[in-house]
Amino acid sequence: MRAPQSLKQEFLKKWMVGLQLCESTNQNMSILERKKAIKLSADIAMASTRNGMTCWSRALVAKTSTDFGNKVLVDNILLASQSEKLKNKRTIIRRKKILRKSHRARKARGGRVVARSLAKEMVKKRTQVLKSLVPGGEFMDDVSLIEETLDYIVSLRAQVDVMRTLAKATELMNGK
Where does this chain bind other proteins (CB under 8 A)? 4-5, 8-9, 12-13, 16, 19-20, 22-23, 27-32, 34-39, 42-43, 98, 100-101, 103, 119, 122-123, 126-127, 129-130, 133-134, 142-143, 146-147, 149-150, 152-154, 156-157, 159-176
CB contact at 8 A, 44 and 74: yes
CB contact at 8 A, 29 and 37: yes
Alpha carbons 143 and 59: distance in angstroms, whole number? 17
Query: Residue 51: how many CB atoms within 10 A of its CB?
Result: 14
Nearer to other proteins among residue 39 and residue 89 (C-beta): 39
Min dist. Cβ of residue 26 to other proteins (A): 9
Nearer to other proteins among residue 13 and residue 89 (C-beta): 13
Min dist. Cβ of residue 14 to other proteins (A): 11
Min dist. Cβ of residue 90 to other proteins (A): 27
Alpha-carbon Rg for the chain, nearest whole angstrom, is 20
Alpha carbons 110 and 142: distance in angstroms, whole number? 29
